[in-house]
């Protein structure tokens, strides 16, 4: 990582609507990065920002479909630069305020509890809960490392100040969530793009090891890995198909090795396929799961036998005869191909992202059977994204995929930014 001896620069906060310029330098970065690492207990991916005055490191769970950044303000939040957003202000409108008024608690005012303040919706997918009031909209100082320069400061970053209970089921010491949703003016990527005048895009590369950092790139390319390899040269694209905070793409069919599965095409097309860092393993609608599982078992070597399932997985194998791919693509397993909007465009899932060693002697197919009532055919989870660079190009309404970086003899932890 860049040395901490870099000077701290203050940058003009040029937002969607004009605001006071607080710049002390002419440095105008076009790319930033965040280190991201998996929490082994929750399987969530966690990053860290520096926020408040004086600056404090704050751990946040990554939610690509989240509409905002929200932070627990009830427990230990102190900052001399915290400013609540007042009713009918620009900040309230940008953050899509749902209510406005005075704090109802008996305690004196504090961050998260002020008079004439506005509130918005914040959510924690791990709790399966959406909190509809009490998340005070506010501004405070936030710093982030630029990709090819110093740390920069955003003096008036808009976020939501939530109650402590919303951090339930997050990882240890995780104080909120960082949202990258495509429709929100106050998502993390939108605020940075607006402040520094670059195209709205970010790319996520998740490490498969809880001990090693992956990376989130925000802003302009390149995406550099070992030996100077720029992963952007391997990207292929598919359209974003829904106007939603979440990211949906079209999976038109699924192949296992060379065999195209017989699936309900209407089911595939109705809801689309969602990409989520809040889901650890790809969820398949029950009929799709059964078809994938059956084909996967059929394509495994005959000496690899199924064994009793290990929750949450339903398809498991004796690992004795599962070897390592000679191409360095993880475990030797049938290829799973999500065919996208075009028959020639597909996401390849190799053994490194399809099989999981759950205990000694047992591998499981790392997909889970989803609930029929959700109405979603496929939700692509973080395990299938590991060591694949995924670019979210909001300006062009498209998502790019590299397939596994193992094809290039590198991985998401193999970059100098977050080492």
Per residue, what are the HEC states of 35-70? EEEECCCCCCEEEEEEECCCCEEEEEEEECCCCCEE
At residue 259, does pLDDT exceed 50? yes
* CATH topology classification for 9-198: Cathepsin D, subunit A; domain 1 (2.40.70)
Same fold for the domain at 9-198 and the one at 226-408?
A: yes
Of 198 and 28, the one with more pLDDT: 198
Q: What's the whole-number mean pLDDT along residues 126-138?
A: 76
Average pLDDT, the chain: 89
Q: What is the pLDDT of residue 2?
A: 31
17 band by pLDDT with thresholds 50, 70 and 90: very low
Taking residues 286-307, what's their average pLDDT?
95
Would the pLDDT of 189 be above 60? Answer: yes
CATH architecture under which domain 226-408 falls? Beta Barrel (2.40)
pLDDT computed for residue 269 by the predictor: 85
- pLDDT tier, 418 (very low <50, low <70, confident <90, very high otherwise): confident
Taking the domains of the chain in order of start, what are their residue ranges?
9-198, 226-408
User: What would the mean pLDDT of 158-164 be, rounded to a whole number?
Assistant: 95
Of 128, 240, 130, the residue nearest 182 (C-alpha): 240
β-pairing verdict for 273-275 and 378-380: parallel
Q: How many CB atoms lie within 10 A of CB 307?
A: 15
Is pLDDT of 18 > 60?
A: no
Mean pLDDT along residues 314-341: 88
pLDDT at 106 over 90: no
The answer on pLDDT for 275 being more than 90 is: yes
The CA distance from 190 to 396, in Å, is: 14
Of residues 27 and 60, more confidence is placed in 60
| pLDDT reading at 205 higher than 80 | yes
Give the chain's end-to-end CA distance (angstroms, integer). Answer: 6
Least confident of 18-32, 82-96, 123-137, 342-356: 18-32
pTM: 0.90
Residue 112, exposed/middle/buried by CB under 10 A (0-12, 13-18, 19+)? buried
Report the alpha-carbon distance of residue 382 to residue 367 in Å, rounded: 11
Residue 90 has pLDDT above 70, yes or no: yes
Q: What is the pLDDT averaged over residues 45-70? A: 97
**Local confidence band at 372 (pLDDT 50, 70, 90 cut-offs):** confident
Confidence of residue 81 (pLDDT cuts 50, 70, 90): very high
Which of 79-83, 156-160, 301-305 shows the lowest mean pLDDT across its residues? 301-305
Q: What is the pLDDT of residue 180?
A: 97
């Amino acid at each position: 990582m860049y040395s901490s001896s870099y000077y701290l620069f203050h940058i003009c906060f040029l937002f969607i609507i004009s605001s006071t310029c607080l710049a002390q330098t002419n440095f105008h970065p076009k790319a930033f990065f965040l280190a991201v690492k998996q929490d082994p207990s929750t399987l969530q991916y966690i990053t860290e920002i520096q926020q408040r005055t004086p600056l404090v490191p704050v751990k946040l769970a990554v939610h690509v479909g989240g509409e905002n950044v929200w932070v627990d303000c009830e427990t230990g939040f102190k900052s001399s630069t915290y400013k609540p957003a007042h009713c009918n202000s620009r900040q309230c409108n940008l953050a899509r305020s749902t209510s406005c008024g005075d704090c109802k608690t008996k305690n004196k005012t504090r961050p998260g509890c002020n008079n004439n303040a506005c509130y918005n919706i914040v959510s924690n997918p791990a709790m399966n809960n959406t909190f509809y009031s009490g998340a005070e909209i506010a501004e405070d100082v936030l710093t982030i490392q630029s990709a090819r320069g110093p740390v920069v400061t955003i003096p008036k970053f808009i976020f939501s100040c939530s109650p402590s209970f919303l951090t339930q089921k997050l990882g240890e010491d995780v104080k909120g969530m960082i949202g990258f949703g495509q429709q929100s003016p106050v998502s993390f990527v939108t605020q940075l793009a607006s402040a520094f005048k670059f195209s709205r895009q970010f790319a996520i590369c998740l490490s498969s090891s809880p001990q090693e950092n992956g990376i989130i790139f925000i802003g302009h390319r390149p995406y550099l890995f070992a030996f100077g390899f720029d992963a952007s040269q391997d990207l292929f694209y598919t359209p974003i198909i829904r106007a939603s905070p979440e990211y949906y793409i079209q999976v038109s069919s699924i192949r296992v090795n060379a065999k195209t599965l017989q699936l309900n095409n209407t089911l595939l097309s109705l809801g689309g396929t969602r990409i989520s860092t809040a889901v650890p393993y790809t969820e398949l609608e029950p009929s799709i799961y059964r078809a994938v599982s059956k084909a996967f078992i059929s394509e495994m070597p005959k000496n690899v036998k199924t064994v009793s399932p290990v929750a949450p997985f339903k398809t498991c194998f004796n690992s004795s005869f599962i070897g390592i791919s000679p191409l360095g693509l993880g475990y030797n397993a049938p290829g799973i191909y999500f065919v996208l909007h075009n028959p020639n465009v597909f996401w390849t899932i190799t053994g490194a992202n399809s099989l999981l060693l759950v205990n000694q002697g047992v591998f499981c197919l790392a997909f889970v059977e989803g609930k029929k009532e959700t109405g979603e055919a496929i939700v692509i989870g973080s395990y299938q994204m590991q060591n694949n660079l995924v670019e979210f190009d909001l300006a062009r309404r498209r998502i790019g995929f590299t397939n596994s970086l193992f094809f290039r003899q590198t991985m998401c932890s193999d970059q100098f930014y977050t080492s």
